[in-house]
Chain A
Amino acid sequence: MIVFRRIVPIHIRTVVLLAMTCSAIVVAQDEQVKSDPVREFFERFDTEYHGFYEARAGYRLQNDPDEKDMSIMEARYQFDLFHMRDWGDIKVKGDVYGDGVEEKGVFDLREANLFMRPTDSMDVKLGRQVLTWGTGDLIFINDLFPKDWQSFFIGRDTEYLKAPSDAVKVSLFMDWANLDVAYTPEFDSDRFISGERLSYWNPVLGDRAGEDNTMSVERRREFLEEDELALRLYRNIRNYELALYGYWGYWKSPGGFNEAMTAAVFPDLYVYGASIRGTVGKGIGNAEIGYYDSVDDRDGDDFLINNSEMRYLVGYTQEIARDFTAGVQYYVEQMLDYDDYENNQPAGMPKRDEFRHLTTLRLTKLLMNQNLSLSLFTYYSPSDEDVYMRPIANYKASDHLAVEIGGNVFFGDETHTFFNQFHNNTNAYLAVRYSF
């Protein structure tokens, strides 16, 4: 991500950007602009040009002593270029946005890749790309590709939950199974919660912290040394999708601290897992399992490094009425070597439970010829006793223009639990997007 700061005073910039975005949207909407010189330019090179303009604004619904009231304030332009040749495809997609909260301009290159199908049984994708696999709905066990939790919690479009990887993905298609190999030469961590935008539980301080106490992190930046390898072996039997997974890399969000406890680190992590998905009764069922081998703390007695874990997920989705779908999931994180963890945890630090239980419920209702979508995704953890709710109402006013209202609501009993640590970030937002 490239960041431009302080070129123009902030508030002015934000206001200008938001105003420009809105007026671009209004003009485009009103005049039904048919000829777009930019598109015409790219079409001369046989390149498809699409994208959107978006304005998005949101505020915290309560005071947060550690952060601004404003939770999101941005004007965004996304371009999406696609060029098809006989030998392969080139795709470049990027976002330029003015961020009124952090007072900066950002260029975020989301995709820049080359896709080739060199033989009947092989696909190759090289470059910056978004990678996804696994069966969970907003729960990830074997998908260890980078996530952007910050974008997710402040109310950006769900698209931004997936952060891009700089990787090569080779897919082999064989009669008995298919194999995906994704190699990332330089570790791509999650865009995790560091306090910059969202207040969080800082275990070192033993309190919630925010932009004044951002987490310092020891990054892994050694090209080809600090790399990641992810595999998926899968096949489809009678439309039941079976998969085996392997991952050799690092905890994607900080999974420990250095010895001086001055910075969070990304310890080594290997993951082995499996999943199945297919029709169950009138709906779709899925199950997934993963063994997280925390290589740097295999005995579980190093309180600075995450223990190994087992993770389990079952889910079921069904259309329960016309254009009304419900999905439920049950997910468990089991900490291994729990006795060693308990015995080595310094006094005064809140202890994790051996089992973290998490349930989710997704309700989606489509109305007005499917132009209005009302959805509510709720995470509820009976063991942490906390809740995270994501209500979203999205209305497509036309083929180009969409309006969205949504929120991110966190509550619970204790200040340090997974979701309730974000309680003070509870926010609501409004967005307008013009797609072209």
Chain B
Amino acid sequence: MLRKESSAVLLVCAVFSLTVAGVARAAEGDAPDVQTIVTRANIVAYYQGDDGKATVKMTITSKAGQTREREFIILRKDVVDGGDQNYFVYFQRPSDVRRMVYMVKKHVGEGKDDDRWLYLPALDLVKRVAASDKRTSFVGSDFVYEDVSGRGLDQDTHELIETTDAMFIVKNVPKKPEEVEFSYYTVAIDRKTYVPTKMDFYDKQGQLYRVIESKDVKVIQDLPTVTRSVVKDLKTGGQTEMEFTNVQYNVGIGDIFEERYLRRPPREAMR
């Protein structure tokens, strides 16, 4: 596998969906073409720096107001900027999943599925996870896997439909509509930082049904970083908030994406 000693160093890790931001310059004069915008936003959202680490707290709220919490430490390391990358997720809460580890080797490209592993500590069991549907809920939240690890740019066609003072609005239409539950989605991308700030998903009838918003953006290690994002499912009335703390970039994550570290995570994954 290609390993890129990344030098590009755009910012940091977009640990989960909308994390991070970029140092991009403000677009002066003419807007760049749409391919440039989405490529840049993708890097800003998912590939900042060579690697990244954060503590993530998810609060899942049902329509009835019942809440559930998930807390985990996530580590990300890029193999190729804009391409393959590895994720290591160490669960801390709730207690019935404590010390469970979820590992993903994300592969970008036509027809390539990710490799996923799950470690169940009570059984000392390393499992391969057969999950090819990336539109499945991530740990029971309103976020789906693709929100977390990114959706391949080549899976959609992109169109710049509007340029406001602050934002590029890009419409994305899936090339294989039968594989997803939406007909299209729009993304508002900050013109200065290239941080995706809002995503609106429309169902097959053209109705808006799902909204993801970046609520807080902080500058961490000189990199604008989304530290709080919220997804609302307008159909179920449920919502999930994700808060990122202890965000660090370019921490020098080693080759931890191995069975050895599933069975006993490295220290940096545990605290």
**Interface set of A (CB-CB < 8 Å, partner B):** 50, 52, 84, 89, 115, 117, 123, 129-133, 158-159, 161-162, 171, 173, 178, 234, 236, 238-239, 241, 277-279, 282-284, 286, 317-319, 322-323, 325, 327, 369-371, 396, 398-400, 402, 433, 435-436
Which of B69, B96, B115 has a CB less than 8 Å from the CB of A279?
Answer: B115
CA distance A161 to B131 in the complex (A): 25
Least Cβ–Cβ distance between A275 and chain B, in angstroms: 12
Inter-chain contact A319/B131, CB cutoff 8 Å = yes
Given A130-B123, A319-B131, decide whether A123 and B264 contact each other with a Cβ distance below 8 A: yes
Inter-chain contact B264/A115, CB cutoff 8 Å = yes
Inter-chain contact B258/A325, CB cutoff 8 Å = no
CA distance A159 to B97 in the complex (A): 13
Inter-chain contact A435/B137, CB cutoff 8 Å = no
Q: Which of B1-52 contact A (CB under 8 A)?
A: 1
Residue B215, interface by CB 8 Å:
no
Give the chain B neighbours of A133 by CB distance below 8 A.
Answer: 126
Inter-chain contact A323/B137, CB cutoff 8 Å = yes
Which of A130, A319, A370 has a CB less than 8 Å from the CB of B139?
Answer: A370
Give the chain A neighbours of B130 by CB distance below 8 A.
Answer: 282-284, 317-319, 325, 327
Which of B66, B68, B124, B133 has a CB less than 8 Å from the CB of A319?
Answer: B133
Q: Which of B87-103 contact A (CB under 8 A)?
A: 93-96, 98
Residue B204, interface by CB 8 Å:
no
Which of A89, A117, A284, A369 has a CB less than 8 Å from the CB of B140?
Answer: A369
Least Cβ–Cβ distance between B24 and chain A, in angstroms: 34
Which of B96, B125, B259 has a CB less than 8 Å from the CB of A236?
Answer: B259
**Count of chain A to chain B residue pairs whose CB atoms are closer than 8 Å in the complex:** 98
Inter-chain contact A132/B132, CB cutoff 8 Å = no
CA distance A162 to B68 in the complex (A): 30
CA distance A125 to B232 in the complex (A): 45
The winner among B122, B129, B260 for most chain A CB atoms within 10 A is: B122
Inter-chain contact A284/B258, CB cutoff 8 Å = no
Inter-chain contact A123/B137, CB cutoff 8 Å = no
Inter-chain contact B95/A236, CB cutoff 8 Å = no
Inter-chain contact A370/B123, CB cutoff 8 Å = no
Which of A89, A239, A435 has a CB less than 8 Å from the CB of B115?
Answer: A239
CA distance A369 to B233 in the complex (A): 12
Give the chain A neighbours of B96 by CB distance below 8 A.
Answer: 52, 396, 402, 433, 435
CA distance A89 to B93 in the complex (A): 20
Contact size range, B: 35 or more
Least Cβ–Cβ distance between A433 and chain B, in angstroms: 8
The winner among B68, B129, B135, B259 for most chain A CB atoms within 10 A is: B259
Residue B76, interface by CB 8 Å:
no
Inter-chain contact B136/A123, CB cutoff 8 Å = no
Given A322-B133, A435-B96, decide whether A370 and B140 contact each other with a Cβ distance below 8 A: yes
Residue B153, interface by CB 8 Å:
no
Given A282-B132, A319-B131, A370-B137, decide whether A158 and B95 contact each other with a Cβ distance below 8 A: no
Least Cβ–Cβ distance between B234 and chain A, in angstroms: 16
Give the chain B neighbours of A323 by CB distance below 8 A.
Answer: 136-137
Which of B93, B123, B129 has a CB less than 8 Å from the CB of A132?
Answer: B123
Which of A129, A178, A436 has a CB less than 8 Å from the CB of B95?
Answer: A436
Least Cβ–Cβ distance between B23 and chain A, in angstroms: 34
Inter-chain contact A171/B260, CB cutoff 8 Å = yes
Give the chain B neighbours of A278 by CB distance below 8 A.
Answer: 128
User: Which residue of A is nearest B270, CB measured?
Assistant: A84
Give the chain A neighbours of B129 by CB distance below 8 A.
Answer: 284
Inter-chain contact A398/B68, CB cutoff 8 Å = yes
Given A282-B113, A319-B130, decide whether A371 and B270 contact each other with a Cβ distance below 8 A: no
Give the chain B neighbours of A317 by CB distance below 8 A.
Answer: 128, 130
Which of A130, A178, A396 has a CB less than 8 Å from the CB of B122?
Answer: A130
Inter-chain contact A162/B124, CB cutoff 8 Å = yes
Inter-chain contact A117/B136, CB cutoff 8 Å = no
Residue B62, interface by CB 8 Å:
yes
Which of B94, B128, B136, B270 has a CB less than 8 Å from the CB of A322?
Answer: B136
Given A277-B128, A279-B115, A284-B130, decide whether A435 and B139 contact each other with a Cβ distance below 8 A: no
Inter-chain contact B125/A369, CB cutoff 8 Å = no
CA distance A170 to B131 in the complex (A): 32
Inter-chain contact B260/A178, CB cutoff 8 Å = yes
Residue B60, interface by CB 8 Å:
yes
